[in-house]
Amino acid sequence: MAKGLQGFSRTMLLLFCTIQELGTWAVRTAVEGPGLGQPEDPALLASGRVKRGWVWNQFFVVEEYTGTEPLYVGKIHSDSDEGDGSIKYTISGEGAGTIFLIDEITGDIHATERLDREQKPRCREGPYIGSGAELSPIGTSVMQVMASDADDPTYGSSARVVYSVLEGEHHFTVDSKTGVIRTAVADLDRETQDRYEVVIRATDMAGQVGGLSGSTTVTIVVTDVNDNPPRFPQKMYQFSIVETAPVGTAIGRVKAEDSDVGENTDMTYQVKDEEGVEMFKVTTDSNTQEAVITIQKPLDYESKKVHTVVVEALNKFVDPRFVDLGTFRDQTIVRVSVLDVDEPPEFRPPSHLMEVQEDAHVGSVVGVVTALDPDVANHPVRYAIDRSTDAERIFDIDANTGAIVTGKVLDRETAGWHNITVLAMEADNDAMVSRASLRIRILDVNDNPPELATPYEAAVCEDAKPGQLIQTISVVDRDEPQSGHRFYFTLAPEATTNDHFSLLDIK
């Protein structure tokens, strides 16, 4: 440190002035004198002799000095100074000439201002945000804070920081050494309070009297667990639907509320009672978490005007720590009122099969169809035949009684079946009409004689012997036998006197 610097008109030394309990200030000291800054004698360098050197020690100054006079820091001296005033001392750098002054003759250094070693806050800048699940056990870690101290860690306990809770100590604690914040209670409830502002203090000197401190606010967010069951806001809901609504029609929506958040509010719904399961279906709208109730079976106002459905809501995701299933579900009653609609008459039964013999006289009754108005008003019913299905008017119907009668002579052999459509309508409203299919079977009557199956023409040789077979004949009958036809064969009376031929009935 005594060696000169070639090419410079002055010799400088970086001086570190350590402010006790505070920090380090860097100033440059310079000494000026005759011939200073010239190249050194090579002979002196070779001999190892040092021409100039600094005499100084590390300086300490107590921070927060409150005196009125400049505070003496220390003395800087060059071994080239012979005390004749030819050497002058100067300083430069941070605080030189303002905070620090040097006597250019003696090298004495003084501080002119109150000094503060800490150049930054003790607690690092935030924001500090931590989180912990509600109902966590006591001592659950939620986050860690870190404070920095600008004090010299090698000087006593100045930089030893300890932590404490200024605000929020009823719910949280902080490890004095590590700054780890933990829960102090086991009943944190997000639904009651979802965040806490906790003030943490960091104190140096290991928390001893006289130590300096800083504080910061920590936001601790309480995260949700599925500790709340679904609850229907109402114990009963009422909806109405017309009786003619088709299967699959949505009747209405109900929704259970849940104090939790996120997926912990996801629901599933189901119908609990037997009647409801048969008549209605419930699904969950994944977007709104509502129960959608739809018709599963046709409704009928005349059969039942009001249906009572028990709907149950359950959490989709149940936390195993809170598996008391008795409380993690809720039920409500849904009353469905069926509204009456003016409906057309109904055939009972909806289709018919009738029979009539083919020899029935015109006007004979084939059968009777019946239709009733299902409405409470029970309007009178009129009947008619859809003539597009009976253009020949083979049958007629009594408009008031529904009796089907023959309109023409029947012939089973021509048409053994007739399919017609019968109409039933309200007497005062033709728009309220319904249709029924009617199948009429024509029963056979033995009204046709046997006929030769084909025309026969026989030939015989003149030398044929008695008993020789000349021709075998067969016959058919267009009637419908109940148990199969049986024919009997005999010669016609006019042929019985012919001695040349005979007939054998082989049955």
- Convert the pLDDT of each residue in 79-108 to its tens digit: 777 778 788 888 877 677 888 888 888 888
- Is 379 a member of any domain? yes
Strand pairing category for 236-242 and 329-339: parallel
Residue 64 lies in a domain: yes
CB 483 within 8 A of CB 506: no
Using CA atoms, how far apart are residues 139 and 182, in angstroms rounded to an integer? Answer: 5
CA distance 306 to 337: 5
Query: Under a CB-based contact definition with an 8 Å cutoff, are residues 246 and 341 in contact?
Result: no
Is 116 part of any domain? no
The more confidently predicted of residues 147 and 312 is 312
Beta strands in 41-160 (DSSP E): 54-55, 59-60, 71-75, 77-78, 88-93, 100-102, 108-111, 128-133, 141-144
Helices first, then strands: H and E counts in the chain: 2, 34
Tokens 């046997």 correspond to 450
Asked whether the predicted pLDDT for residue 67 surpasses 80, the reply is no
Same-domain check for residues 355 and 433? yes
Whether residue 3 is contained in a domain is answered as no
Do 351 and 436 sit in the same domain of this protein?
yes
Q: What's the average model confidence in pLDDT over 339-345?
A: 89
Residue 106 CB coordination number (10 Å): 13
Judged against a pLDDT cut of 50, whether residue 35 lies above it is answered with no
Strand 395-397 to strand 403-406: parallel, antiparallel, or no bridges (unpaired)? Answer: antiparallel
Average pLDDT rounded to a whole number, residues 381-402? 95
18 plus 104 within the same structural domain: yes
Helix (H) or strand (E) holding 42: helix 42-47
Q: What is residue 305's predicted lDDT score, i.e. its pLDDT? A: 93
How do the residues of the chain divide into helix, strand and coil, expressed in percent and rounded to 5? 5, 40, 55
Is the domain of 455 the same as that of 385?
no
Conformation bin of residue 469: beta by default, left when phi > 0, alpha when psi is -120 to 50: beta
Same domain, residue pair 330 and 351:
no
Looking at the structure, do residues 404 and 492 belong to the same domain, yes or no? no
Domain's final residue, options 81, 111, 141:
111
Mean pLDDT of the chain: 80
311 and 386 share one domain:
no
Last-in-domain residue among 443, 471, 486: 443
Specify whether 257 is located in the same domain as 333.
yes
Domain-embedded: residue 5: no
Least confident of 234-243, 362-371, 426-435, 492-501: 492-501
How far is residue 354's CA from residue 405's CA, in Å, rounded to a whole number?
A: 11
Q: What is the CATH number of the domain that holds 418?
A: 2.60.40.60
What mean pLDDT is predicted for residues 182-202? 92
Residues 394 and 456 in one domain: no
Q: Is 115 left (phi over 0), alpha (psi -120 to 50) or beta?
A: beta
Rg (CA), the chain: 59
Residue 226 has pLDDT above 60, yes or no: yes
Residue 403 is assigned to a structural domain of this protein: yes
The residue among 271, 272, 339, 268 whose CA lies nearest residue 300 is 339
Identify the residue with better confidence: 273 or 46.
Answer: 273
Q: Are 419 and 438 in contact (CB under 8 A)?
A: yes
Task: Write out pLDDT tens, residues 243-257.
Answer: 999 999 999 999 999
Q: Quick one: 320 exposed, middle or buried, by C-beta within 10 A (0-12, 13-18, 19+)?
A: exposed
- 462 and 377 in one domain? no
pLDDT exceeds 50 at position 119: no
Quick one: pLDDT at residue 149? 61
**HSE-CB for 318 with a 13 A CA cutoff:** 16
Residue numbers of the domain that contains 500? 449-507
Q: Are residues 135 and 86 in the same domain?
A: no
Residue 320 within any structural domain of the chain? yes
Domain count within the chain: 5
Residue 118 within a domain: no
